[in-house]
Structure 1
Amino acid sequence: MKLLVVEDEALLRAALTEHLTQEGYRCEQAATFAAAHEKIKLYEYDAVLLDLTLPGGAGLDVLRALKTDRARAAVLILTARDALADKLAGLELGADDYLTKPFHLAEVSARLRAVLRRRHFGGHPWLRYGALAVDPANALALVGSQPVALTRKELELLTYFLTNVGRVLTKESLAEHAWGDAIDTVDSFDFLYTHLKNLRRKLRAAGCELPIRTLYGLGYQLQAPPDATTFASSPFSP
């Protein structure tokens, strides 16, 4: 999943990014209000870790811009401020959770997993699409009871499709989600086509024909199954 870490303290920003990258997240960074504001205008994120005190502006204004744009990102506020008024202001603007510095990185991970489950997976760890079940937090994919060995990028692409069933996803948005904002500099999307081909091949070999339509000139669309995508507490729950 793709995260934006908005934090002006360089050492903390680096520690958060390294820790979350090791846990399998794709992390982008912003150290100032202007950089954060630009990134949320240009790119989509699954979650934003947001400091309230930023050079050049207020973190609450970044949060306000996110909500004005109806962004799908979950927001976890990380700040040295511990005043009740600041916490209430962030939560009332739509933040999903709030941590006061200093904090343990393990607690950030736990809170982040919780807000992602609530925001994107209906509070449950598993995504289900017909016989296919995916647990993004633990990098697991099953068809029936059979594990499917997917690479990290394949799993990120699959999760993105499953959380956007019926939506047309451009090749740019798919690439940004799995490879980050630096994708703006690439000359070809052949690497994306290869990963999509491999994802389809692996699922097909496991008995799952994922109906991803190629809409030329527009992008890709995962068609809704008859029972729609569901969220579940286990891969086999009814």
Structure 2
Amino acid sequence: MKLLFVEDEPILLERMISYFAGVGCICEQAKNFDQAVVKINSHKYDGIVLDIGLPDGSGMDLIPEIKLSQSGTGIVIISANASLADKVDGLNLGADDYLTKPFYLEELNARINALYRRKTLKGDDVITFDDFAINIDARELYYNDSLIRLTKKEFELLIYFVTNKNRLVGKISIAEHIWGDSYSNADNFDAIYVHLVNLRKKLMQASGNDYIKTIWGMGYKFIG
């Protein structure tokens, strides 16, 4: 899961990124309104955690921008202001949830996971294709009840392909989703190929089918 944290409090920002990176998320940050605008218009995210009290603008004004550029992204507002009016305004603008500071990171994690399942995974805890089953919580792949061991990157790559099934995806979009801000490093494109080859090999060894098709000069397509 790829997340953007828009927060100007350094300690809270560091705690959130450390926690969510520790549970396997790709984390990016914006410390003010202007940085957030650049991020939102340049990258795609599965979820955005948005502080509305930013030093150079209101996070509320970012919500229409997010809905316009990436309508399927879950938005969780975090704010020190517990007023009902702010909650209603944020939800009416298109936010999905509202959490008042201070909060437990475990609660934020639960809310983000719930949004991710609802928006990206269509409410599923387990995704299936043919005789494969992907357990989202356990981060495990099974073929006819037999466990197929995947690395962290292979699992993330599989989820990205499955949730974009039958769509053409380019190397840059894959790298950005898997590596976040560092995707522009040329080595990541070589790494994509390595992880993709290994994932393709494991799927083929289990089923005999090649689900990942190369579209020469354009990218890849997952047929499942």
- Give the Å deviation of 1:13: 0.4
TM-score normalized with structure 1 length: 0.89
Q: Which piece of structure 1 moves more, 66-75 or 78-87?
A: 66-75
CA distance in 1, matches of 2:112, 2:214: 33
CA distance in 1, matches of 2:8, 2:180: 20
Q: How many equivalent residue pairs?
A: 224
Say which SS state the counterpart of residue 133 (structure 1) adopts: strand
* Distance of aligned partners of 1:75 and 1:208 in 2 relative to their CA distance in 1, 3 Å threshold: farther
Give the structure 1 partner of residue 131 of structure 2: 131
Quote the sequence identity (%): 42
Say which SS state the counterpart of residue 203 (structure 1) adopts: helix
Per-residue CA deviation, residues 135-179 of structure 1 (Å, 9 max, x unaligned), is 233211111201111011111110011111121111001011111
Checking the alignment, whether the CA contact within 8 Å between 2:32 and 2:54 is kept in structure 1 is yes
- Give the Å deviation of 1:22: 0.9
- Give the Å deviation of 1:35: 0.8
* Distance of aligned partners of 1:66 and 1:24 in 2 relative to their CA distance in 1, 3 Å threshold: same
Give the structure 2 partner of residue 172 of structure 1: 172
Say which SS state the counterpart of residue 128 (structure 1) adopts: strand
1:28 aligns with 2:28: yes
Q: Which piece of structure 1 moves more, 179-188 or 12-21?
A: 179-188
1:149-164 equivalences in 2 (<5 Å): 149-164=149-164
Residue identity matched to 2:77: I
CA distance in 2, matches of 1:208, 1:91: 47
1:60 aligns with 2:94: no
CA distance in 1, matches of 2:144, 2:55: 50
CA distance in 2, matches of 1:164, 1:54: 34
CA distance in 1, matches of 2:129, 2:101: 39
Say which SS state the counterpart of residue 124 (structure 1) adopts: coil
Residue identity matched to 2:156: E
1:202 aligns with 2:190: no
* Distance of aligned partners of 1:98 and 1:208 in 2 relative to their CA distance in 1, 3 Å threshold: farther
- Give the Å deviation of 1:71: 3.5
TM-score normalized with structure 2 length: 0.95
CA distance in 1, matches of 2:70, 2:176: 19
Q: Flag structure 1 segments of 5+ consecutive residues without an equivalent.
A: 226-238
1:212 aligns with 2:209: no
CA distance in 1, matches of 2:54, 2:136: 31
1:74 aligns with 2:74: yes
Q: Which piece of structure 1 moves more, 100-109 or 204-213?
A: 204-213
Instruction: Report the structure, 1 or 2, having the larger helix content.
Output: 2
Say which SS state the counterpart of residue 103 (structure 1) adopts: coil
* Distance of aligned partners of 1:214 and 1:52 in 2 relative to their CA distance in 1, 3 Å threshold: same
Residue identity matched to 2:40: I
Compare relative contact order (CA 8 Å, sep 6+) and give the higher one, 1 or 2: 1
CA distance in 2, matches of 1:77, 1:45: 15
- Give the Å deviation of 1:210: 4.2
1:176-187 equivalences in 2 (<5 Å): 176-186=176-186
CA distance in 2, matches of 1:210, 1:104: 43
Q: Flag structure 2 segments of 5+ consecutive residues without an equivalent.
A: none
Give the structure 2 partner of residue 12 of structure 1: 12
Q: Structure 1 runs of 4+ off > 3 angstroms?
A: none
- Give the Å deviation of 1:12: 0.2
1:213-232 equivalences in 2 (<5 Å): 213-223=213-223, 225=224
